[in-house]
């Protein structure tokens, strides 16, 4: 649906402190799209639309491999039905409303309007040897973490699998067009990678609260082309704030995907306040589930820890975290302290100089590998906890 005909959804009201929304409000569903299904499902979908099932493979090649939805370029499809087939099987799901660049063009945030007017964001980050995309799994978030801009805006709705995948396809298309530009400018092959190699589910939303669609998206991302985008599962990070039943379910999928647990506090007293879901599943339950994830998949778990001045950055908390992680075993976990990205008008702010270093050193003294995460894009509100899709 074009921007002008979309019916804007009402703005979700700010949730009361501590109120968690595990189930997304029911709203109209986005149109079905090829990327919602695996290959067998796509054949059925095409048949339902009145086209031969085998066209699913051809359309998949165009979408996942050539990254195109332009019927004019699909010359292997019958000219008479091409336009209508593509319109029905690959409807436009995202309309770009804004793009912001930072870090000299290496960080690009895109704001998209969905079919019903809801807004979501994704961020593309180019590094020397990889390209990472941070994608959204929900419009808003129901977890209500008080320091997070997304959480403060509440949960509008779950995204469909195709709406999640489309963010990555849009990023991949952007890189492809950059490749053309860079070659035209320098007359040589690009020296840095121009394919999306890493995906983090750290944009808007709690991905495990939208389990089915997020899992479907993981499959579309890692399935080999043309069934999917063919991104290595090792390059994918599923992020959660600690939905223990979701972690346990995801463990059973046994995919070599990295799990990132946003812990932010090692003690229940503080975590109950910072991460309201902790009132349901406590620190030790979340850590046990994360440890079992490692045991099942062999993938080292990341613990995300936003350092907030005078709230969770004390040395004794670093020691408590180090102790809790070390007592579960060696080599299973890595901690990423993240300097908090201040949100406007918020009392939560980044730790004082030196405090971060002390926190890191104390964790390392417990034998825990620790790396301060870089906060790319913080000047365009494109870092974690800042994706609120203000238009």
Which residues are at the interface with ligand SF4 (CB under 6 A)? 141, 143-145, 148, 150-151, 206, 241, 385
Q: Of the two residues 121 and 313, which places its CB atom closer to ligand SF4 in the complex?
A: 121
Q: Which residues pair with 110 in a beta bridge?
A: 99, 122
Which strand (E) or helix (H) includes residue 287?
helix 283-297
Query: Does 239 show up as a binding residue in the annotation?
Result: yes
Residue whose tokens read 């750290």: 202
> What is the C-alpha separation between 293 and 291, in angstroms, rounded?
5
**Closer residue to ligand SF4 (CB): 228 or 246:** 246
The verdict on whether 48 is a catalytic residue reads: no
Mapped to the 3 state alphabet, what secondary structure does 4-22 carry? CCCCCCCCCCCCCCCCCCC
Contact 266, 321 (CB under 8 A): yes
Q: Could you tell me the smallest distance in angstroms from the CB atom of residue 142 to ligand SF4?
A: 7
3-class state of residue 172 by DSSP: helix
* Residue 134 annotated as binding site: no
Catalytic residue among 121, 163, 227, 304: 121
CB-closest chain residue to ligand SF4:
151
Does 391 belong to an annotated binding site? no
Identify whether 384 is a catalytic site residue.
Answer: yes
CB nearer to ligand SF4: pick between 344 and 353? 344
Give every CB contact of residue 345 below 8 A, 6+ residues apart in sequence. Answer: none
Q: Is 148 annotated as a binding residue?
A: yes
Nearest CB to ligand SF4, comparing residues 51 and 109? 109
Shortest distance (Å) from residue 158 CB to ligand SF4: 13
Closer residue to ligand SF4, CB minimum distance, 20 or 170: 20
Residue 93 among known ligand-binding residues: no
At residue 146, the 3 state secondary structure works out as coil
Report how far residue 163's alpha carbon sits from residue 168's, in angstroms, rounded to the nearest whole number: 9
Would you state the structure tokens that stand for residue 126, as one six-digit string? 């180019």
Could you tell me which residues come within 8 angstroms of residue 26 by beta carbon, excluding any fewer than 6 positions away? none
User: Can you tell me the distance from the alpha carbon of 228 to that of 37, in angstroms, rounded to the nearest whole number?
Assistant: 10
**Least Å distance between CB 242 and ligand SF4?**
9
Q: What is the DSSP string of 204-265?
A: SS-GGGGHHHHHHHHHHHHSPTTTS----GGGEEEEES--HHHHHHHHHH--SPEEEEE---
Query: Closer to ligand SF4 at the Cβ: 223 or 313?
Result: 313
Say whether 264 counts as a known binding-site residue.
yes
Q: Is 141 annotated as contributing to ligand binding? A: yes
List the structure tokens of 39: 């290959």
Catalytic center residues: 121, 384
Binding site per annotation, positions: 141, 145, 148, 205-206, 239, 262-264, 341
Binding-site residues for S-adenosyl-L-methionine, please? 205-206, 239, 262-264, 341
């Amino acid at each position: 649906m074009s921007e002008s005909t979309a019916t804007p959804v009402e703005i979700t009201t700010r949730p009361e402190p501590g109120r968690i929304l595990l189930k997304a409000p029911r709203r109209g569903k986005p149109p079905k799209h090829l990327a919602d299904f695996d290959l067998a499902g796509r054949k059925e979908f095409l048949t339902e639309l009145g086209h031969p099932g085998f066209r699913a493979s051809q359309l998949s090649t165009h979408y996942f491999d050539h990254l195109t939805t332009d019927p004019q370029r699909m010359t292997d499809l019958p000219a008479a039905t091409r336009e209508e087939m593509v319109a029905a099987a690959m409807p436009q799901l995202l309309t770009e409303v804004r793009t912001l660049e930072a870090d000299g063009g290496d960080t690009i945030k895109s704001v998209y309007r969905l079919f019903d007017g809801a807004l979501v964001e994704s961020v593309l980050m180019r590094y020397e040897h990889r390209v990472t995309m941070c994608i959204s799994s929900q419009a808003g978030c129901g977890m209500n973490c008080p320091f997070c801009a997304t959480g403060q805006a509440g949960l509008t709705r779950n995204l469909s699998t195709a709406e999640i995948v489309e963010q990555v396809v849009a990023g991949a298309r952007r890189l492809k067009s950059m490749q053309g530009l860079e070659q035209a400018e320098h007359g040589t092959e690009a020296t840095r990678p121009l394919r999306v190699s890493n995906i983090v589910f750290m944009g808007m939303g709690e991905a495990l609260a939208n389990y089915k669609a997020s899992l479907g998206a993981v499959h579309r991302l890692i399935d080999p082309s043309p069934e999917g985008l063919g991104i290595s599962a090792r390059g994918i990070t599923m992020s959660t704030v600690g939905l223990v039943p979701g972690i346990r379910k995801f463990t059973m999928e046994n995919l070599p995907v990295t799990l990132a647990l946003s812990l932010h506090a090692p003690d229940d007293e503080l975590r109950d306040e910072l991460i309201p879901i902790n009132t349901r599943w406590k620190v030790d339950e979340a850590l046990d589930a994360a440890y079992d994830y490692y045991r099942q998949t062999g993938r080292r778990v990341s613990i995300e820890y936003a350092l907030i001045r005078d709230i969770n950055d004390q040395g004794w908390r670093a020691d408590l975290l180090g102790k809790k992680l070390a007592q579960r075993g060696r080599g299973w976990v890595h901690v990423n302290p993240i300097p908090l990205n201040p949100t406007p008008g918020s009392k939560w702010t980044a730790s004082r100089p030196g405090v971060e270093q002390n926190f890191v050193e104390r964790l390392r003294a417990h034998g825990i590998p620790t790396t301060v995460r870089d906060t790319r894009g913080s000047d365009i509100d494109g870092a974690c906890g800042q994706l609120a899709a203000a238009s």
